[in-house]
Amino acid sequence: MRVVVSGASGLIGRALLPALRDAGHEVVQLVRRAPRAPHEVRWDPAAGELDAASLAGVDAAIHLSGAGVGEHRWTPAYKHVIRASRVDSTRTLARALAALEPAPRVLVSGSAIGAYGERGEEVLTEDSPRGGGFLADVVAEWEAATAPAAAAGVRVVHARTGLVAAHRGGAFGQVLPLLRAGLGGPLGSGRQWWSAISMPDEVAALAFLLEADVSGPVNLTAPVPAHSAVLLRAIAAALHRPAVLPVPALALRAVLGEFAGEVLASQRVVPEVLLRAGFTFTHPDAASIARWLADPAVR
């Protein structure tokens, strides 16, 4: 399959590209600079520029572009960057795919479980209504921006990814050094539900969705969510370190600003669509995710 990938230099993209190539797919990579290799295609998503002819023969697309939500404080200016980087890039790619003849088979477009907002103990599936808050509003626009591709007959999947457990980068990349030093502990009450997914399962699920007969929202989270304190304790135990130093909610808000609300939010998400489609998780729960994160052989 010839697959165009955006956001290939990001946290997930860096792991996804070699996995796709190892599986025998031909990868076309969208870049914002001048192309340096035959498999690269330049685009300017902020300006809505992507020459559809450069994607001729593409069978599928995996769209992962978007500014990080945890890298900066959420000033009004950066909130605009978060929204625009997702909506503009999605619309640009969807329009280019829609212009192709024949149209690609599928667009797997990145999304997030932020769609559900703060939901306490409620079990959340793909059929659950959207919640409130900034990220939920962003997800609504983000997913709607795929409309041109869907109208052209492309099967569109919204990959609502949870907290990606990775050794470097992302939320876990920041937490792991603290846990290794014995300085980690519950965040806030520790009773908020965290719906995480290991990087190997994230990559495998994205590849699976290229050919699975599903469309619409798909939760990319491990099937057994856990309270944040349970997950952090499991990782600390796998590292043979304590996890007893709590981080008060007030301290998190002082450091992270508005984004702290997302860290402290409770989202008990289950991947109902993936499980129904026959996807098998390598790391289905907190204990297996923790063991993978602590394994020095896979760093």
Tens of pLDDT, residue by residue over 53-72, are 999 999 999 999 999 887 78
Has residue 255 got a pLDDT over 80?
Answer: no
pLDDT of residue 209: 98
Tokens (6 digits) for 164: 């990606």
Taking only the tens place, the pLDDT of each residue in 129-168 is 999 999 999 999 999 999 999 999 999 999 999 999 998 8
pLDDT level of residue 241 (50, 70, 90 thresholds): confident
pLDDT of residue 13: 96
CA distances (Å), origin 85, targets 6, 92, 106, 163: 12, 11, 21, 20
What residues does 123 pair with on adjacent strands?
A: 268
Taking only the tens place, the pLDDT of each residue in 111-124 is 999 999 999 999 99
Contact between 160 and 113 (Cβ < 8 Å): yes
Domain boundaries, the chain: 2-298
CATH class of the region 2-298: alpha beta
Could you give phi then psi for residue 109, rounded to 5 degrees? -105, 130
pLDDT of residue 182: 81
CA distances (Å), origin 184, targets 26, 72, 161: 42, 21, 24
